[in-house]
Amino acid sequence: MKKFVFYTLLISLVATLSCTKENGLSEEEIIQGLKEALKVGTDTSSTNLHKSDGYYGDLAVKIFLPPDAHGVLEHQNDPLLQAAGIDQKIEQLILSLNRSAEDAAIEAKPIFVDAITTMSISDAASILHGTDSAATLYLKAKTRSQLFSVFIPKLQVSLNKPLVAGMSAYEAWSQLQSVYNPLCNPLTGWQPITSNLDTFATNKGLDGLFLKIAEQEKLIRHNASYRVNDILRKVFGE
pLDDT of residue 30: 97
Average the pLDDT over 210-231 and give the result.
Answer: 97
Q: 106 pLDDT band (50/70/90 cuts)? A: very high
For residue 25, report the phi and psi dihedrals to the nearest 5 degrees.
Answer: -100, 140
Q: 169 and 201 in contact (C-beta within 8 Å)? A: yes
pLDDT of residue 177: 97
Q: Is the pLDDT of residue 153 over 90?
A: yes
pLDDT of residue 161: 98
Which regions of the chain does DSSP assign to beta strands (E)? 21-22, 25-26
Q: Is the pLDDT of residue 4 over 50?
A: no
At 168 the three-state DSSP class reads coil
Distance CA 76, CA 86 (A): 7
Q: Is the pLDDT of residue 98 over 90?
A: yes
Q: Which of 148, 153, 137 is nearest to 112 (CA)?
A: 148
Q: 23 pLDDT band (50/70/90 cuts)? A: low
Q: pLDDT over 70 for what percent of the chain?
A: 90
- Residue 166 region by backbone torsions, left for phi larger than 0, else alpha for psi between -120 and 50, else beta: left
Average the pLDDT over 146-162 and give the result.
Answer: 97
1-5, 10-14, 124-128, 158-162: range with lowest mean pLDDT: 10-14
pLDDT of residue 84: 96
- Structure confidence by residue, pLDDT tens digits, 39-59: 999 999 999 999 999 999 999
pLDDT of residue 73: 96
- Structure confidence by residue, pLDDT tens digits, 178-208: 999 999 999 999 999 999 999 999 999 999 9
Q: Is the pLDDT of residue 24 over 60?
A: yes
Distance CA 105, CA 51 (A): 9
Q: pLDDT over 90 for what percent of the chain?
A: 89
pLDDT of residue 157: 98
Q: 6 pLDDT band (50/70/90 cuts)? A: very low
Asked whether the whole model's pTM tops 0.85, one would answer: yes
pLDDT of residue 203: 98
